[in-house]
Amino acid sequence: MAFAVLSSILTAGTDGALAYIVKPVMDNIFIEKNSGLLVFLPVLVIIIYFAKGLFRFTQNYIMRYVGQKVIEALRNAMFTKMVYLPVKFFSDQPTGVLMSRITNDINLVQSSIPTMINMFRAIITVISLVGVVFYMNWKLALLAIVCYPLFIHPLFVISKKIRNYSRKGQERMGGLNSTLQEAFSGIRVVKAFVNENQEINKFKKANSEAINFEIKTILAGEITSPLMEFIGAFGIAAIVYVGGTQVINGSITPGAFFSFLAALTMVYQPVKDIGNANNVIQSAIAASQRVFSMLDEKNDILDSDGTLPCDAKNKDIEFKNVCFRYADGEPYVLNNINIKVKSGSTVAFVGQSGAGKSTMANLIPRFYDVTSGEILIGGVNIKDYQVHSLRRNIGVVSQEPFLFDDTIRNNIAYANESIKEEEILAAARAAYADEFIKNLPEGYDTMTGERGVRLSGGQKQRLTIARALIKNPPVLILDEATSSLDTESERVVQKALDNLMAGRTSFVIAHRLSTVLGADMIVVLNDGKVEAMGRHNELLESSATYKKLYEMQFGEAQE
Ligand code: ADP
């Protein structure tokens, strides 16, 4: 940055020098016809231009280099910040908007850095040229200066508008990104409902909103120069009139006048640059407000992280008076939950859809924090554990298995990069995945593609089970892990799950009661409250909800 600033000062100096030598060129060569300077002055012009080019190049190159490095650092900082933010942050905002922060907004911030240096150079240039102007003819200079405020006012009005449009345009870009992201990730739904046209219209609307603000920004930006130029014409006209009078009556030389005029017209460009720079900087200020508000985002969980390392092995888990709601002012989703879970046992949550089963499970790894009450592992509030240590103790297998765009081997080893080949194979075998993996064209080196599109639901699920086996956590959460599978693959996945659950404290959420019949304890949730707890046979007697669920499924099985 310092080098760039130095180069920009030197570049600005060369502009002053160029304006200054118009006087000796005009007076000594053209009017006095001094042939001695005929060679010297042109050579001087070449040298000055060489210096100007060199300094300008170093300034611009260094500036853009710094700009790119700033993008790199900001992107890293933002991604790091975001990845650590709580789950709530991600469920509150569309993915597209978050992506737009990291791409568009950061680019806007970056673009302002070279512009700021250009503006600095422009200011120095203006100072050096104004110096020449005053040195040549201070009376004319004063006249010119009187005209300049005329430039400034429209500049302020326009730049405010630009900042406004630019902010709105960027917000619309975020909207556009979300529309895209939604349409692409939901493409099957879109096609199945033959809803392409509706999606296209939604996209067109978002696109035209974004573009309209861009166009307004461009309009305001492009009006700046011609407007300033036109206003400037009045100043030039006045100066030609007054200066011409002075030359005609002999009070100044023609060279002095032209040198003055050269400096004055050269001032125009940097002043214009300052105006343009201002536009870019206004956009950047709007973008950087969004970027930095994200970087300043509070991290409810990590900012008050616990201090104890967690080892949940052989420890009981307890929900004590747990109440939870997703946001202040919303109704409670969980009400006064009290359950005790013995280490190594299997607890099943059952209940109607929306009863709060997933929410219960999400509280254990602190994806969300309880609103009141506490969850204890080995008698210690989970908030007192280091959250990352806590999460290392918990394996999650969910309804929608997520695979990374990587090889099967790396997908299984995800939680542990230093894992040995035999362990990967053992995990795959225990998850009943080894056989189908071996039959794939490249075995364990097969790429699974985004979300593993080339594998069946059951196969993907078995890979995520193998991944959980490698992680080897004492606590497991199985969130409807088999509910999207057909009976055949459910049977294999269930066997894999049985291997995974052996010796671990497991929380199972299942739609199909068949998968929870063997649980040590079944918790029946109804509208965020524990309606009943116990084993299958007891619950058939004691819980109306459980009986209803059971009969519904039993009926289904008969059909
Ligand atoms: P279940 O797993 O039993 O089907 P959930 O725990 O998913 O039920 O949901 C319980 C309640 O919480 C539902 O009323 C649901 O609408 C609400 N809910 C779930 N996730 C969120 C969220 N991210 N923000 C706000 N409300 C939510």
Could you write out the DSSP letters of every residue in 122-148?
HHHHHHHHHHHHHHH-HHHHHHHHHHT
Atom 13 of ligand 1, residue of closest alpha carbon: 354
The closest residue, in CA terms, to atom 21 on ligand 1 is 326
Which pLDDT value is given to residue 558? 42
Q: What atom of ligand 1 comes closest to residue 528's alpha carbon?
A: 10
Dist. CA 299 → ligand 1 center (Å): 22
| 326 Cα to the center of ligand 1, angstroms | 8
138-147 and 149-185 are packed helices; what angle lies between their axes, rounded to 10 degrees? 40
* Amino acid at position 276, single letter: N
For residue 530, give the H/E element and its range: strand 529-534
Indicate the DSSP class of residue 513. Answer: G
Please provide the DSSP assignment of 299-345 as one string: -TTGGG---B----TT--EEEEEEEE-SSTTSPPSEEEEEEEE-TT-
Neighbours of 449 (CB within 10 A): 13
Asked if the model's pLDDT at residue 453 lies above 70, the reply is: no
Among 334, 358, 484, 516, which residue has the most ligand 1 atoms within 8 Å of its CB, making it the best to mutate?
Answer: 358
pLDDT in tens, 202-242: 999 989 998 998 898 888 888 877 877 787 788 778 888 98
Residue nearest atom 20 of ligand 1, based on CA coordinates: 359
Compute the distance between CA of residue 460 and CA of residue 360 in angstroms, rounded to an integer: 25
Are 325 and 331 contacting, i.e. CB atoms less than 8 angstroms apart? yes
pLDDT tens by residue, 36-57: 888 888 899 999 999 999 998 9
The 10s digit of each residue's pLDDT in 177-201 is 888 888 888 888 888 888 899 999 9
Cα separation, 442 vs 461, whole angstroms? 19
Ligand 1 centre to CA of 400 (Å) is: 16
pLDDT digits (tens, 9 = 90+) for 427-450: 888 888 888 888 888 888 888 866
What's the start-to-end Cα distance of the chain, in Å? 76
Q: What pLDDT, on a 0 to 100 scale, did the predictor assign at position 200? A: 93
**Cα 1 from Cα 65, distance rounded (Å):** 10
CA 74–ligand 1 middle distance (angstroms) = 34
Binned at pLDDT 50, 70 and 90, residue 360 comes out as very high
User: Mean pLDDT lowest for which of 86-95, 148-157, 161-170?
Assistant: 148-157
Ligand 1 centre to CA of 353 (Å) is 9
Structural tokens at position 215: 């166009």
Which residues does 174 contact at the CB level (< 8 Å), separation at least 6?
A: 94, 96, 97, 100, 101, 104
**What's the alpha-carbon Rg for the chain, to the nearest Å?**
36
Q: What is the DSSP string of 380-429?
A: EEGGGB-HHHHHHTEEEEESS----SSBHHHHHHTT-TT--HHHHHHHHH
Instruction: List pocket residues of ligand 1, CB cut-off 6 Å.
Output: 91, 326, 333, 351, 353-359
Calpha distance 123→270 (Å, rounded): 7
DSSP structural state of residue 222: H
Cβ pair 79, 103 in contact under 8 A: no
Q: Identify the three-state secondary structure at position 378.
A: coil
For 351: left if phi > 0, alpha if psi spans -120 to 50, otherwise beta; the answer is: left
Tell me, yes or no, if the pTM score tops 0.85: no
Ligand 1 center–CA 537 separation, angstroms: 28
- Determine the Cα angle at 341 with ends 460 and 369, to 5°: 70
Q: List the domains of the chain with CATH numbers.
A: 2-297 (1.20.1560.10), 344-356+387-558 (3.40.50.300)
Q: Whose CA is nearest to atom 10 of ligand 1?
A: 356
pLDDT digit string, tens, across residues 268-324: 778 778 877 877 888 788 888 888 888 898 888 888 888 899 998 899 999 999 999
pLDDT recorded at residue 15: 86
Q: How far apart are CA 305 and CA 316, in angstroms?
A: 22
Span 160-177, pLDDT tens digits: 788 788 888 888 888 888
Determine the 3-state secondary structure of 167 from DSSP: helix
pLDDT confidence band for 151 (50 / 70 / 90): low
For position 463, what pLDDT does the model report?
Answer: 87
C-alpha distances (whole Å) from 1 to each of 60, 62, 109, 114 are 11, 7, 16, 10
